[in-house]
Structure 1
Amino acid sequence: MNPIVTSNDIIETYFRYIMTRFPLGKTDPEIREQVRTVLEKGKDRLFRGPILEIMPPYKKGRSLKSLSKNYSDLVALFSKNGNYPVERELFLHQEKALERISTNNIIVASGTGSGKTECFLFPIIQYCLENPGKGVRAVLIYPLNALVEDQIERLGKYLRGTQITFGKYTGQTPRKAVTSAEREKEPANHLISREEMRSAPPHILITNYAMLEYMYAVNLISWACLFMKKENESINP
């Protein structure tokens, strides 16, 4: 993306909006041109920027494939479905996180777009591949539903072709089972209704802190069963 070109495009789009939303001089081309000239001269008052932030590149580490001793199942999965280039170099903070997370509690502090999500998501997927069966393996908690939606898309990509189930449990999650047409739009391992998740809790549950508090406050015992669900055991929150 060229920031100068993009900035000029935004300014021009805003100019067109002003000229069409407030049709000054609509019947008189001369007045209309005068209005545009005034706006052009006052451009510095209407707009600022573009403001550029120069960020140095993150240090590179080893590839996911080189960490296959601890992530052999994950490497095999990505090599098969092609949803992550296993030979591409990780960022150094990703490599360190993936190496340490199996034996330590960690905090990853890094910039936007630096792959923080993969620092915890890859170990979770590896764990799920090693430990198939019933019950929730991980709970991902986000402050905003928009972030939840972003992670649902990412999980759908990474978990394609697996039996690892995932689903979001937020205020926007429908209560009842969806229609067959809606069901066909999503992969089978994406649970999209509360009814589905109650009958077969997903391996990876994505929610927000408010809904998590609600689940435990309203029906603590039933939701505690999520983490120790046995074959043919039902949950009725």
Structure 2
Amino acid sequence: MHDLVGAYQRLDRIYQLYIQSAFPLRYTALATERNDILKKPGILSQAPLVEPVPTYPSSGMDLATAAARLPTGYNDLVSLGQMIFDPSIPLYEHQWKSLEAVILNKKDIVVTTGTGSGKTECFLLPLLAQLAKESAFWANCPQTTSQQNWWNGKGNRVSQWTHAPRPKAVRALILYPLNALVEDQLRRLRKALDTSQVHQWLNTARGGNRITFGRYTGQTAVSGERKQDSIERLRRELTERSQQWTEIQKLQDPELNYYFPRVDGAEMWSRWDMQECPPDILITNYSMLNIMMM
């Protein structure tokens, strides 16, 4: 059974951390008073409401079994997708049918199942299966150097992934009408592609490559030309991200990691980095896509 109360408490804590990091206060007394207010019941969240939902038919297969039934080359889905499914949890029938339709039958799909039925996995599993197959043929990625962390100090800006010799292209486009949905998808991709477990497999089996992904919305740093003042804004942004990630690790709550970007991972740093080296998976909204294509 899922820990509903624990999930509620973690979400409430995440919102508190977000407000503290996004809207810092100069004076300690004010910050303390605000934190005390945010902790009061009903300020940031209400007590959880539990709604029972129907049980969806199971495929009877876990991810390893499902991946074994795919054609040669797609089987590494079990490693690339290891963070999506717990080994003890079987795929729903509609999740397996989606994977089967896309990979085995080369069909397009439309998924219309209910809330909480794992619709995201219906497109994410075929996508990761295809990336697992293609990435097997990529050239090894050179190790990053200290210069990659260019924001530490006064050095010149260094592009995030131009050092990788593999073909650079957007391999999947995920479109959402609202930024809130973009943020939710970003959290899922961080869990799927930017954890230490997946990094370890990619280092061993894919020559240190990463499956890159990036959010390109109005919230993405940095807009405009690559002028010095804009570069300094990006430097400050990446410095804050790095410090934020360090603080999050001290809390020792793995679930919190998925709500914040890590600067040493596969998530793209900025618009400039995505323009110079397109991410494998691009997440955006309709308005921003229209601007990008103009």
TM-score bucket (shorter structure): 0.5 to 0.7
Q: Structure 1: state its 5+ residue gaps.
A: 7-49, 218-237
Distance in 2, Cα, partners of 1:64 & 1:201 = 29
User: Residue 128 of structure 1: CA displacement?
Assistant: 1.7
Q: After superposition, where does 1:144-183 map in structure 2 within 5 Å?
A: 144-160=178-194, 161=199, 162=202, 163-175=210-222, 178-179=234-235, 180-182=238-240
Matched, 1:94 2:134: no
Distance in 2, Cα, partners of 1:129 & 1:53 = 37
| Cα distance change, pair 214–76 in 1 and its aligned pair in 2 (3 A) | same
Structure in which a larger fraction of residues adopt strand? 1
Structure with higher RCO (Cα < 8 A, 6+ apart): 2
Distance in 2, Cα, partners of 1:108 & 1:68 = 20
| Cα distance change, pair 72–87 in 1 and its aligned pair in 2 (3 A) | farther
Q: After superposition, where does 1:64-213 map in structure 2 within 5 Å?
A: 64-69=63-68, 70=70, 71-79=74-82, 82=83, 84-102=85-103, 103-132=106-135, 133=166, 134-160=168-194, 161=199, 162=202, 163-175=210-222, 178-179=234-235, 180-182=238-240, 184=242, 185=245, 186=262, 187-213=264-290
TM-score normalised to the size of structure 2?
0.52
Instruction: Give yes or no for contact 1:140–1:206 (8 Å, CA) kept in 2.
Output: yes
Instruction: Say which SS state the counterpart of residue 121 (structure 2) adopts.
Output: helix
Distance in 1, Cα, partners of 2:90 & 2:110 = 21
User: Residue 68 of structure 1: CA displacement?
Assistant: 1.6
User: Residue 86 of structure 1: CA displacement?
Assistant: 3.6
Instruction: Give yes or no for contact 2:84–2:192 (8 Å, CA) kept in 1.
Output: yes
CA deviation profile, 1:44-83 (whole Å, cap 9, x unmatched): xxxxxx998543211111222111232421202345xx55
Distance in 2, Cα, partners of 1:172 & 1:148 = 11
| Cα distance change, pair 51–75 in 1 and its aligned pair in 2 (3 A) | closer
Distance in 2, Cα, partners of 1:91 & 1:194 = 37
Equivalent position amino acid for 1:58 in 2? Y
Distance in 2, Cα, partners of 1:206 & 1:152 = 8
Instruction: Say which SS state the counterpart of residue 84 (structure 1) adopts.
Output: coil
User: Residue 87 of structure 1: CA displacement?
Assistant: 4.4
Distance in 1, Cα, partners of 2:84 & 2:108 = 27
CA deviation profile, 1:167-201 (whole Å, cap 9, x unmatched): 01111111156334245341421003101111111
User: Residue 130 of structure 1: CA displacement?
Assistant: 1.8
Give the CA RMSD over aligned residues: 2.6
Instruction: Give yes or no for contact 1:141–1:208 (8 Å, CA) kept in 2.
Output: yes
Instruction: Give yes or no for contact 1:135–1:202 (8 Å, CA) kept in 2.
Output: yes
Q: Structure 2: state its 5+ residue gaps.
A: 9-47, 136-165, 203-209, 223-229, 246-261
Instruction: Give yes or no for contact 2:101–2:107 (8 Å, CA) kept in 1.
Output: yes
1:41 corresponds to: none
Equivalent position amino acid for 2:133 in 1? E
Distance in 2, Cα, partners of 1:139 & 1:54 = 33
Work out which of the two has the higher radius of gyration on C-alpha atoms and give 1 or 2: 1
Distance in 2, Cα, partners of 1:87 & 1:72 = 18
Between the aligned residues of both structures, percent identity stands at 43
Instruction: Give yes or no for contact 2:216–2:271 (8 Å, CA) kept in 1.
Output: yes
Instruction: Say which SS state the counterpart of residue 106 (structure 1) adopts.
Output: coil
